[in-house]
Each structure stands twice: as C-alpha cells, then as structure tokens.
Amino acid sequence: MEPAAKIAHSPPPQAAGQPERFSIDHLHTAPYPVKLIAAADKYHNLWTLSEDVRRKGDGIWAVFKRGKAEQGWYYQTLYDLFKAEGALQSLPMILEMKTHLQFLFHEDKDGSPMAPPSSRAP
C-alpha cells in the first residue's frame, strides 16, 4: 500500500485535536466556495511549510504543537477531501498539493526524502 493510502485509511492520531476534526467534518458538507477557499489556504500552508523545510530542515516541526505525523495525517485527509470534490480535483493547486505532501511527509522507496517541489510562489 502506498504511504498516502496508508495515511488516508488510518484513524486520526491520538494527538489530533478537536479543531482539526471539526475542520474536516465541516468541510465534508461545506458548499463548493467554502471548500475552494479552504483548499487555497491549505495549499498555501503546504507551500510555506515546504519552503521552511527547504531552508531550515526538518527542525521546523518542533514549533508545532502537534508533530510531523499528525500534521501529515491532517493535510493528507484534507487533500483527499479536496481531490474527491469534482470541481476541485483538476485545479493546479490541488495537483501541486500532492507534490508538497510527498516532499514533506513521505520518503522515496529507498528511504531518502522526496525531491522538493518547485519553489515558485503560489
């Protein structure tokens, strides 16, 4: 099973709090414009995280209340939700989210980090 599929089919980590669960639950039933704005926000967050990791390394995860694994679960779950929305799935920002997720939260088959995504600003 691919790493993204493992994350998508796993329960939320114990540390995943109410705000994250509320956000995800709310977006499942939200209208398209709300999902579009949320997707743009999360895409920008992932882009910024990728830039921070590229510049400062994996130590950036120490500034978050929840660790890298919990952040990975949250963003992967949101990506899957956005990808399932017909009108969102072909937008460039949704397609690029996958590249950022792979860079930030997954390793290549040989255990090395994935190549960083383009540093082009969103």
Output the pLDDT for position 120: 57
- Domain-embedded: residue 16: no
What is the tally of structural domains in the chain? 1
Output the pLDDT for position 96: 94
Report how far apart, in Å, the C-alpha atoms of 106 and of each of 27, 70, 86 are. Answer: 25, 13, 26
- Domain-embedded: residue 78: yes
- Domain-embedded: residue 81: yes
- Domain-embedded: residue 61: yes
Long-range contacts of 1-8 (CB under 8 A, 24+ apart): 3/105, 3/106, 3/107, 4/76, 4/98, 4/101, 4/102, 4/106, 7/72, 7/73, 7/76, 7/77, 7/105, 8/76, 8/77, 8/80
How far does CA 15 lie from the centroid of its chain?
17
Closest among 114, 101, 113, 116 to 6, alpha carbons compared: 101
Output the pLDDT for position 23: 79
Output the pLDDT for position 67: 87
- Domain-embedded: residue 2: no
Output the pLDDT for position 7: 42
Closest among 4, 24, 28, 1 to 104, alpha carbons compared: 4
Q: Which two tokens stand for residue 39?
A: 């997707």
What is the pLDDT tens value at each position of the chain, 122 positions in all? 444 444 444 555 454 455 666 678 889 899 999 999 999 999 999 999 999 999 999 899 999 888 899 999 999 999 999 999 889 999 999 999 999 999 999 865 555 555 556 555 55
> In this structure, are residues 89 and 36 in contact, taking their beta carbons and an 8 Å threshold?
no
Domain range for 54 is: 32-108
Output the pLDDT for position 3: 41
Output the pLDDT for position 48: 96
- Domain-embedded: residue 23: no
- Domain-embedded: residue 9: no
